[in-house]
Structure 1
Amino acid sequence: MESLLVSTGVVALAEIGDKTQLLAFLLAARFKKPVPIILGILAATLANHGLAGALGAWITATLSPGVLRWILGLSFLGMAAWTLIPDEIDEDETQISQRFGVFGATLVTFFLAEMGDKTQIATVAMAAHYPNPLLVVAGTTLGMLIADVPAVFIGDKLAKRIPMRLVHGIAALMFAALGLATLLGAGAALGF
């Protein structure tokens, strides 16, 4: 259960102000059709984070516990630093809608926007850290929805009232705590 709760919380916080949340704002403003946008976000996140979770599980099975501990610890610390850097959205990511409709545009743009994004990398790291990658994927997907669904309905009004620096700081602290705990052997009981 810890893997579900931690991955949900970390990703929900890290996603606030992230480029995919900005993409949700933009798609909602452009199309004004929340249901296909939300379904597109859900499908894209499940696919993207499912692949990330599988990669994390593969890494766990492939690497020795000592090497894995160092890679994971340093990855979490890197995620802490990366979380403090604000994202920008590329206008080209929203031009796909002419071919695929609202759901398809959301699915494609969210999937591509998440490739190599901090929440995808965090999903890989947490899936490698926790024994049940499916709970991690469920948690990271839930975290994405917690951050992005309100963006679809409330849009820019919400974004202007959220203290982004504070939220990113809290997410960075959570990633740093995971990194330090991993490096100091907190996962030793799990074989890391």
Structure 2
Amino acid sequence: MEAFLLSTGIVALAEMGDKTQLLSLLLAAKFRRPIPIILGILVATVFNHAFAGAVGGWMTDFFGKDVLRWVLGVSFIAMAIWTLIPDKIDDVETKHERFGVFMTTVVAFFLAEMGDKTQVATVALAAKYSAFYAVVAGTTLGMMIANVPAVFLGNKIIEMISMRLVHMVAAAIFAVLGVLTLLNVGSLF
């Protein structure tokens, strides 16, 4: 349960102001069809985070406990720093209109999420907790918590919430996880 709840919370916070949340806003403004957009986000996220969770699981088998502890600790601290850097949507294309709203969302969202901080967080969380299903379900739920309101309410949410504060809280959580992992405190080590 810890892996699920932590994965949900950390990804929901890290996703605020992220390029995939900006993509959700863009798709909602462009197509004005929230249901296919939300379903597209869900499908893309499940596939992307399942892949990331599998990589995290592989890491636990590949690395020894001490090496994995250091890799994860440093990764969480790097995620804390990365979370403080605002994302832009400049490099994300949505020129797949001929595929319809759903497939455009799936393709654009999947590509935007590749190498994104929430995907990297999914790898690290899956490696730390060795709980593939709990982590993938949690990170997917966190992604949906951040993006569904963006699809329905758009810029109103962004204007109401201090993105700087949200990023600082998410960064603090990543940093604490990193330090605890390096100090060998936690459920895995």
Task: Tell me which interval the TM-score lies in, with the shorter structure as reference length.
Answer: over 0.9
The corresponding residue for 2:176 is: 177
1:141 matched to 2:171: no
Specify the code of the residue in structure 1 equivalent to 2:58.
W
What is the rounded CA distance, in whole Å, between the counterparts of 2:93 and 2:6 in structure 1? 30
Q: CA deviation at 1:68?
A: 0.1
Residues 70-94 of structure 1, C-alpha deviations (whole Å, 9 max, x = no match): 0000000000000000000026521
Alpha-carbon separation, structure 2, partners of 1:145 and 1:93? 21
Identity %: 65
TM-score (norm 1): 0.96
1:94 has 2:99 as partner: no
Partners of 1:48 and 1:6 lie apart in 2 by 19
Mapping for residues 1-192 of structure 1, pairs under 5 Å: 1-90=1-90, 92-97=92-97, 99-187=98-186, 190=188, 192=189
The separation in 2 between residues aligned to 1:162 and 1:128, in whole angstroms, is 31
Q: Which amino acid aligns with 1:42?
A: L
CA distance in 2, matches of 1:131, 1:18: 26
Q: Paired residues, what number?
A: 189
Letter in 2 for 1:48: N
Q: Would the alpha carbon gap of residues 92 and 70 (structure 1) be closer, same or farther in structure 2, given more than 3 Å must change?
A: closer
- State the AA in 2 paired with 1:142: L
Q: In structure 1, what is the Cα distance between the partners aligned to 2:161 and 2:30?
A: 22
Q: How much does 1:157 deviate?
A: 1.3
RMSD: 1.0
Letter paired with 1:121: V
Tell me, in whole angstroms, the C-alpha distance in 1 between the residues paired with 2:136 and 2:19.
20
Deviation of 1:133 (Å): 1.5
Q: 1:171 to 1:92 in 2, by over 3 A?
A: closer
Structure 1 unaligned spans of 5+: none
Q: TM-score, normalised by structure 2?
A: 0.98
